[in-house]
Amino acid sequence: MSGRRAGGLLVAGTTSDAGKSVLTAGICRWLWRQGVRVAPFKAQNMSNNSAVVVGPDGRGGEIGRAQAMQAAAAGLAPDIRFNPVLLKPGSDLHSQVVLLGEAVDTVSAGSYRALRPKLAETVFATLDELRAEFDAVICEGAGSPAEINLRAGDFVNMGLARGARLPAIVVGDIDRGGVFAALFGTLALLSPEDQALLSGFVINKFRGDLGLLRPGLDMITGATGRPVHGVLPYDHDLWIDGEDSLAYGSTLGRPAPPVGRDWLRVAVVRLPRISNATDAEALATEPGVRVRLTGTPADLLDADLVVLPGSKSTVADLRWLRETGLADAVTAHAAAGKPVLGICGGFQMLSRVIHDDVESRDGTVPGLGLLPTEITFAPRKTLGLPSGSAFGAESVSGYEIHHGVVSAADENTRPFLHYGNGRPEGAIAGPVFGTHWHGAFESDGFRRRFLTEAARLSGRHGFTVAPDTSFATARARTLDRLADLVEEHLDTTALRHLIESGPPPGLPFIPPGAPA
């Protein structure tokens, strides 16, 4: 790369979950393996899956978890600049706004418009800073660039490309069907100025004989004057750290056969406002552990371990648990002596009482009463990267993102973990476990000890943990696989030219263009 202002690329998509996050990560990993100093960037993410970043001043901040994954792909520690605006939906109508890592406001769709100019100013200044520091910045769009109702004031998709003069490629998910219409329609609904930056296409999740697809590739190029830079195959192994990988009702990953004679069946409750459910991914890397995400009480009946994951709206999701009958199913599971695990918001739900004048503002509400703790929501969010010990594992680390704190507990409450300074964290009561730490199960020794205890409590005496499963290795293998797919299936020469030189001149306009 030259010494001028860094090259860049916008990876847009025909829809949400078309593959923007993983393609951005793959391009970052590919460039990093080529010796390029590359950084990821997503101007604005809307997700309750976030990662904690601790800056040089010791203060914690949040970015989208996908951008933390992309940073790892680029060989970097997470940085709040990689995702300057994060919207965390608390309901269908309101979202918390996180700006450069710090929660600054809660907005509705209407009030967000007034805040947008300030956010855009921060976004462009941050991108300029990164482009002065790195050789290349690979930007991920959001949703679709053809959301014509949102184009005015856009600083995430083509508004970002226009402002920073970035070439853009559009990725489409062929697994959904209609990919050629989606690619053509995306281009044709853009203004002439936006179309001048849209430089090519990528097709994602293809299964079958590529020769059967070839006529369509030639025709879409002929119809638009833009090349298809490659076709990525469907890969079942790309599920770790995928922002939208936890599909409703699905089994997570590809469970490996058990080491012992028994499987351990894990049911993760799919809360409406689920957050950081990627905690379950570490459990699913273990051979013989089948992790299923579900919203059905019946699925809890034959589970060995039930997990209540994090939530952006603890009290609202607790109410949903009761309305759906899942609360009764969780309580019955614990009453049978089988293990229940609550993480962050899930931990809070398991407590006796929740005092919330911050998030839901519902005041005092009863919890499920399975843990001898009370939770009080504090105005300021706890953000941190704790480490400590638990279950005899001396090295456990994770991250904390929560307003709720333990404000009272029975004097005989057993802690689940301990911070490095010995301070207790979380709670255990019989077969029920709770912690505010996300990511703790990525610590291999702790995960093995916990699953061994869960198997004992559930009567799965034939379950044996593998001695050598490494979550960090599994994550690195996923990132390298992404780079392999980019190298094997995309025109990397063309991509490199776009990143270094910008959009090619003379790209044809495809009518009708953006509506007047």
| Residues noted as catalytic | 344, 438
The span from the CA of 195 to the CA of 508, in Å, is: 8
The span from the CA of 53 to the CA of 82, in Å, is: 11
Which residues 6+ apart lie within 8 Å of 151 measured at CB?
Answer: 158, 159, 191, 514
Which residues 6+ apart lie within 8 Å of 474 measured at CB?
Answer: 240, 285
Instruction: Compute how many other C-beta atoms are within 10 angstroms of the C-beta atom of residue 1.
Output: 17
Helix axes 326-335, 314-324, angle to 10 degrees: 80
Strand runs labelled E in 346-411: 351-356, 363-366, 371-384, 387-390, 393-397, 400-409
Is there a contact between 85 and 97 (Cβ–Cβ < 8 Å)? yes
Is there a contact between 350 and 306 (Cβ–Cβ < 8 Å)? no
The span from the CA of 302 to the CA of 325, in Å, is: 16
Phi first, then psi, for residue 257 (nearest 5°) are: -55, 150
Q: Which residue has the tokens 């090259």?
A: 7
By CB atoms closer than 10 A (0-12, 13-18, 19+), residue 50 is buried
